[in-house]
Amino acid sequence: MAKQFKDQGGAATMDPSPLSRWLGSTVVSFVCSGQRRDRQRAKMERARLKAGTPHVVEYFHQVEDGYSHLAAQILRQFCQRYDIKLVCHLVRGPQGKNAAEPELLLQLSRYDAFHVAPEYGLRFPEHAPPLDSSLVALATAVLAGQNDASFIECAAQVGDALWSGDNERLHGLADNLGRASESEIEARLEAGTARRTELKHYSGAMFYYGKEWYWGVDRLYHLEKRLAKLGADREAGEALLVPRPPLEAGPLTDNGSLTLEVYPSLRSPYTSIVFDRAVKLAQDTGVKLKVLPVLPMVMRGVPATREKGLYIFSDTEREAREAGVPYGNFYDPIGNPVRRCYSLYPWACQQGKGNELLSCFLSAAFAQGINTNSGAGLRKVVEAAGLDWSEAQQHLGNSAWEEMLEENRLTMYDAGLWGVPSFRLLNEQGEQLLALWGQDRLWLFAREIQRQLAQGSESTDVLIAGD
C-alpha cells in the first residue's frame, strides 16, 4: 500500500519553499478576492460605456458534453431576458494537463445532468453509455453550420435529438438546417477552442463575460445577477432564469437508515466551503455521516494548470459569498501541512474529533490565512478542534493514514468519482442511491434524502393500512 501511495504522489510531492508558499498564497488571495473582482467589474463597465459597445457574452459549446446540452436549453430565454449580444463557439473537450480523466468527466456529465435537469426544469434523458460517435459528428456538422442567431434557436433541438439517440430526427434537422463540410467543422472547432484558450479557460458549457467565467446552468445565476446590476435585465425584479436551488434539510428526519458519504480533501477550496454544511446536513436529517478523506488531486499526480487553479479559487470566492461562508484569506497547505494534519486524523477520530480537525484545518488554510506548515499554526488548528496539542505531537508523522486515504480514493473511483468534494448516498443495505462530485450538489443530496424518507414513510403507511 505504501508503494501505491507514493505512486499517487503522496510522499513524493515536492513542498514549496516557505517564501514561495507565502508568496503564492498572497498572490492567490489577492487575485481571487471579491474586492479585486468588484473593482475589475467597475473598470470593465466604464470601458464598455465609453466605447458604446453592447454587453457581449460568449458561450462555448462542447457537443458531447452533458452540461453543454443543459446550457443550450436556456440560450434563447437568456437572450430574450437580458440585453446582451451572445456569441456562440463550438469547442473540443479539455486538452493537455486540463484534461484529467476526460472519459470519466464525460461519463459524469451524463449521469449528473440526468439528475440535475429536472430540478432546473430542463430535460436530459438517462444516458449511461457514451454517445453514438456518428450522431455526435452529425450534430457537430449541423451546429458548425449555424450563425449565432440560428445556433441559439436550434442548439437545444439538435442536442435533444442527439441525447435521445433519435437518428431520424437528427437527420431531419440536418436536412432543414444544413450541415457544415469537414473543413468548415474543423475550422469552427479550431476557432472556438483557440478563443477559449486565449481567454484562459479549458472546459465546455462555459459563459464568458467581462473577464469572468461562468460554468453552465450551475453558475448562470452569478452572471444573471451581474447583468441585472448593470441594468441589462429586461424583467428586473422577476425570478432568475436559473436560480441556485437552496440547501434545505427538509422536514423529514431519518433513524439512520441512510448514509451520507463525504469525500473531502484538505487542499480543496470547494471542500473548504462545503464541509461544515455537509456535516450539518447529516445532523439535521439524522442520516449517518461517513467522512472519507482523500489526498488533494495534485498530490495524487493529477496536474493543476494555472488557468484551472485561478478559475477554481475565484469561482469558490463567488460561491462562498453566495452561501455566506468565510473564505478568501488563503495560506497554501499543499504538501507537508496536509500530510501532518492527516497523520493526526486517526488519533483525532479516536477522540471523537476527526471532523472537527478537518474543519478547523480547512478554515485555517482557506479563511483565516494561518500557516499550517508551522508548529504554531498547526497547534492553533489542533486546539481549535478541541484536542490537546502536547498529545497531538506524539502522533505527528504517523503513517497509518496513508493506507486509509488510499482505500478511500479507490472507493471513490469505484463510484465513478475522482474529484473533491464528492458525495454518495447509500441505503440501509449499503446500495448506492446517488453519487456526485461538487460542493454545488449538496442541495441535490438534501432533496434526495427527503425523497427517500418520504418513500419510506409511504411504504410504512401502506403496511399499517394493510394490517
Residues 373-425 pLDDT 10s:
999 999 999 999 999 999 999 999 999 999 999 999 999 999 989 899 999 99
C-alpha 86/C-alpha 76 separation (Å) is 10
> In this predicted structure, what is the pLDDT of residue 8?
38
C-alpha 29/C-alpha 22 separation (Å) is 11
How many CA atoms are closer than 13 Å to the CA of 443, on its beta-carbon side? Answer: 12
pLDDT tens for 422-441 read: 999 999 999 999 999 999 99
Least trusted range by pLDDT, from 44-53, 98-107, 128-137: 98-107
Q: Cβ distance 56 to 89 under 8 Å?
A: no
What mean pLDDT comes out for the span 159-164? Answer: 97
Nearest of 221, 225, 226 to residue 243 by alpha carbon: 221
271-287 burial, b for 16+ CB within 10 Å, e for fewer? bbbbbbbbbebbeebbb
Domains of the chain by start residue, with CATH: 33-229 (3.40.30.10), 259-452 (3.40.30.10)
Q: Using pLDDT thresholds of 50, 70 and 90, give the confidence band for residue 100.
A: low
Residue 421, preceding peptide bond in cis (omega within 30° of 0) = yes
The secondary element (H helix, E strand) that includes residue 199 is none
C-alpha 319/C-alpha 326 separation (Å) is 11
> In this predicted structure, what is the pLDDT of residue 300?
64
Residue percentage of the chain with pLDDT more than 70: 93
How many CA atoms are closer than 13 Å to the CA of 122, on its beta-carbon side? Answer: 30
> In this predicted structure, what is the pLDDT of residue 443?
98
The residue that leads in pLDDT, 104 or 398, is: 398
Residue 380 has which C-alpha cell?
Answer: 492553533
**Which stretches of 32-166 are DSSP H helices?**
34-51, 66-72, 75-81, 102-116, 133-144, 148-163
CB atoms inside a 10 Å sphere around CB 183: 8
The pLDDT of residue 10 is above 70: no
What mean pLDDT comes out for the span 69-86? Answer: 98
What mean pLDDT comes out for the span 149-173? Answer: 97
> In this predicted structure, what is the pLDDT of residue 102?
74
Q: Cβ distance 357 to 347 under 8 Å?
A: no
> In this predicted structure, what is the pLDDT of residue 309?
87
The pLDDT of residue 91 is above 90: yes
For residue 213, the SS3 value is strand
pLDDT tens for 218-251 read: 999 999 999 999 999 999 999 999 999 999 999 9
What mean pLDDT comes out for the span 145-164? Answer: 98
The pLDDT of residue 3 is above 60: no
Residue type, 313: F
The pLDDT of residue 466 is above 70: no
- Backbone phi, then psi, for 121, in 5-degree steps? 75, 25
Q: Using pLDDT thresholds of 50, 70 and 90, give the confidence band for residue 308.
A: confident
Q: Cβ distance 38 to 210 under 8 Å?
A: no
pLDDT tens for 129-140 read: 899 999 999 999
The pLDDT of residue 96 is above 70: yes
Residue 322 has which C-alpha cell?
Answer: 453566495
Torsion sign (Cα): 341, 440, 117, 84: negative
Residue type, 209: Y
pLDDT tens for 354-374 read: 999 999 999 999 999 999 999
Q: Using pLDDT thresholds of 50, 70 and 90, give the confidence band for residue 11.
A: very low
pLDDT tens for 320-355 read: 999 999 999 999 999 999 999 999 999 999 999 999
> In this predicted structure, what is the pLDDT of residue 302?
66
Give the global pTM: 0.93
Sheet holding 206-209, edge to edge: 84-90, 55-61, 206-209, 212-215
For residue 27, the SS3 value is helix
What mean pLDDT comes out for the span 67-83? Answer: 98
Residue percentage of the chain with pLDDT more than 90: 85
> In this predicted structure, what is the pLDDT of residue 99?
67
Q: Using pLDDT thresholds of 50, 70 and 90, give the confidence band for residue 256.
A: confident
Q: What DSSP line would sit under 357-406, residue for residue? A: HHHHHHHHHHTS---TTSHHHHHHHHHHTT--HHHHTTTTT--HHHHHHH
Q: In angstroms, how far is CA 329 from the centroid of its own chain?
A: 21
Nearest of 241, 189, 246 to residue 214 by alpha carbon: 241
C-alpha 338/C-alpha 4 separation (Å) is 18
> In this predicted structure, what is the pLDDT of residue 467?
54
Q: Is 259 left (phi over 0), alpha (psi -120 to 50) or beta?
A: beta
Nearest of 420, 204, 407, 224 to residue 304 by alpha carbon: 420
> In this predicted structure, what is the pLDDT of residue 143?
98
The pLDDT of residue 460 is above 80: no
Q: Cβ distance 309 to 238 under 8 Å?
A: no
Kindly list the distances between the CA atom of residue 191 and the CA atoms of 1, 60, 179, in Å, as whole numbers in the listed order: 46, 11, 17
C-alpha 350/C-alpha 352 separation (Å) is 5
> In this predicted structure, what is the pLDDT of residue 438?
96
